[in-house]
Amino acid sequence: MIDVDGLTVRFGGVVSLSDVSVTFPSGICGLIGPNGAGKTTFFNVLSGFVTPASGMIKADGVDLLTLPDFKRARWGVRRTFQTEQAIEGLSVFDNVATVYEHTAKGGGGAARKAAVDEALEFVGLVEVANDLVRTLPAKERRFIEMARAVVGEPRLVLLDEPGAGLPDEETAQLSAIIRGIPERTGATVILVDHDMELVQACCEWSAVLDFGRLLAWGPTAEVLADEKVLAAYLGGDEALEETHS
Amino acid sequence: MAGLRALVPRREFQVAAAVAITLAAMFLVPALFTGFWVARFSQTAIFTILASSVGLLYGRVGLVSLGQVAPYGIGAWVTLRLAFATSLPFPILLIVAGLVAAAIGVMIGLPALRVSGLYLALVTLMLAASVEIILSQIKFPNGGGGFSGVVTQLSDIAPMRRPGFASSDVAYYRFIVVAAFIIMMAVAFVLTRKPGRAWASIRQSEVSALAAGIDVTRYKLYAFAIAAFMAGVAGGLFAGTIPKGLSLDPFTRQAAIFLIAAAVMGGIRSLWGGLAAGILATLFLAFLTQNVWGHQLWTDFSLSLFGFGLLMNLVQNTKADEKKGIAS
């Protein structure tokens, strides 16, 4: 469970997130909104790359904001990026092992091999485990990131547009992987994506951000049918006025 | 795709090739070449270590350091001073020199935590310049007393002692080749372990490395320490090749720029590039000056080529750095 309270982020005079309060239950939650709504900024706050002006984030009772960025990763915050970041110069196995060996449990040897093999099996990359990443196509690289996100014992998995650029068939595979994460790891997953089918298929609950404000929160189907949300996606002015009043 | 992978030589093959080259360097070179060329080959082995230290920082971690001549000079200084002042075995001197250089290397690395690309290149060049000034003031030890160990009476200058088992030129050359082999193997080993993987992550994207739980600060300083240790040992080995007193020339700003240019031209992505840089910077230039008509022209031309290659590389990498960063 991730408890966010009164989160505000400013870059100079620009308010990227304004007094956002929301509680993500365990399982998979969606985080949607038009471009520039503050979704990635929200992830950057959770990962520790952006320091908020005010607010509080409690994850499983731990005050996340007190931990520096790399220690949050060790505690169990995992992150994928809009542009995939699989490490080109390493093999698929080493990509996943690198994340594992810096976790709290860490270590090498048989435990590491077992954990990495399990993660590769989960995303279906066992056959290419020893291939160099730079020789692999886009789908495999995306799935390496998923394996990096689930290896070991993640507690909070942040997926930033994992389906961007994937054709439908591969998005279906991705969807199955995402839906398997909570059961496999017990982690809370927050999914940012513009593909509403993917969000609907994976997320029981969803939050909607618009201009840095929390526009809506609730069961995904209801949220997506909300007039305010539809207006925000169409760029309607009425939605703005309503949320500001 | 599988074909591409098959083209990359396997690790065992690379180790075997390194052993073969080392043995050939140890036994064929003294048998086939004159003393002049054996001395050039000594410089090749030393430069290979030095260029690989630059390659480790730049090619593996993405840190452009022009400051590697500083630990190189400091390693030479410490080895010289201890060789005159103590009776410690020579290999111990080299290790001490490496450790002192590593400490200095970490200090050079501190600004790297704030700046990158061309800016880091400038900052480290200035640090190298400051070490150059200090060395020119206190001079290299040549057997005198006190901290700086300098005698002014030229006739009193003694050559630095070499290892008892390797006092002749050829034996000392072999000692350098073996030392270079050990260092390169140790680096190759580290690159396949946890630090090597962490460095590969950092080189690709610091943000993604942090998101993977990698303590980027610590691993950057670790890289600077190891690279400076290599340069320090290379400096100690170099000190033993000079018959009468070290000059400042190999440790100046010009030398710093020549070093990174040669390292880049040799190739920074692989340890073999260090060897290629060593051959380019020593044997190749010596060959031009000894054997080719109009050698001054050729030497100047190849140095210009080195500089041009370096500049293109830096500009390209700085552009790539700017494109990287967190997607918003």
Say which CATH number the domain at B296 has: 1.10.3470
For residue B2, tell me if it sits in a domain: no
Residue B77 pLDDT exceeds 90: yes
Mutate to test the interface with A, among B10, B193, B326 (most CBs of A within 10 A): B326
What pLDDT score does B327 carry?
35
For residue B245, tell me if it sits in a domain: yes
For residue B328, tell me if it sits in a domain: no
Residue A76 pLDDT exceeds 80: yes
Query: Interhelix angle for B253-266 vs B295-323, to 10°?
Result: 80
Provide the whole-model pTM: 0.88
Chain A nearest-CA distance from B206, in A, is 10
What digits encode the pLDDT tens for the residues B168-184?
999 999 999 999 999 99
For residue B327, tell me if it sits in a domain: no
For residue B290, tell me if it sits in a domain: yes
For residue B140, what are its two tokens? 């290299």
> Which one of B198, B204, B215 has the shortest CB-CB distance to A85?
B204
Average pLDDT, chain B: 87
Chain A nearest-CA distance from B114, in A, is 15
| DSSP codes joined into one string, chain A | -EEEEEEEEEETTEEEEEEEEEEEPSSEEEEE-STTSSHHHHHHHHHTSS--SEEEEEETTEEGGGS-HHHHHHHTEEEE-SS----TTSBHHHHHHHHHTTSSS---HHHHHHHHHHHHHHHT-GGGTTSBGGGS-HHHHHHHHHHHHHSS--SEEEEESTTTT--HHHHHHHHHHHHHHHHHH--EEEEE-S-HHHHHHH-SEEEEEETTEEEEEEEHHHHHH-HHHHHHHHT-HHHHHHHH-
Residue A69: closest C-alpha in chain B: B210
User: Which residues have CB under 8 Å from B214's CB, separation 6+?
Assistant: A70, A73, A98, A102, B198, B201, B202
User: What phi, psi does A86 have (nearest 5°)?
Assistant: -60, 140
Let me know the angle formed at the C-alpha of B12 by B9 and B14, rounded to the nearest 5 degrees.
Answer: 55
For residue B91, tell me if it sits in a domain: yes
Decide if B210 and A83 are in contact by the 8 Å CB cutoff: no
Position with higher pLDDT, A238 vs B153:
B153
A245 touches chain B (CB under 8 A): no
User: Which residues have CB under 8 Å from B43's CB, separation 6+?
Assistant: B238, B241, B278, B282
Residue B217 pLDDT exceeds 70: yes
**Count of the separate structural domains present in chain B:** 1
Percent of chain A whose pLDDT exceeds 70: 95
A220 touches chain B (CB under 8 A): no
For residue B135, tell me if it sits in a domain: yes
What domain range is B228 assigned to?
A: 9-322
Position with higher pLDDT, B164 vs B39:
B39
Query: Among A63-77, B107-121, B212-226, whose mean pLDDT is lowest?
Result: B107-121
Average pLDDT, chain A: 89
For residue B3, tell me if it sits in a domain: no
Is 0.85 exceeded by the ipTM? yes
Q: What is the bridge-based pairing of β-strands A28-32 and A54-59?
A: unpaired
d(CA B241, CA B212): 46
The whole-number average pLDDT for the span B37-54 is: 95
The whole-number average pLDDT for the span B120-139 is: 90
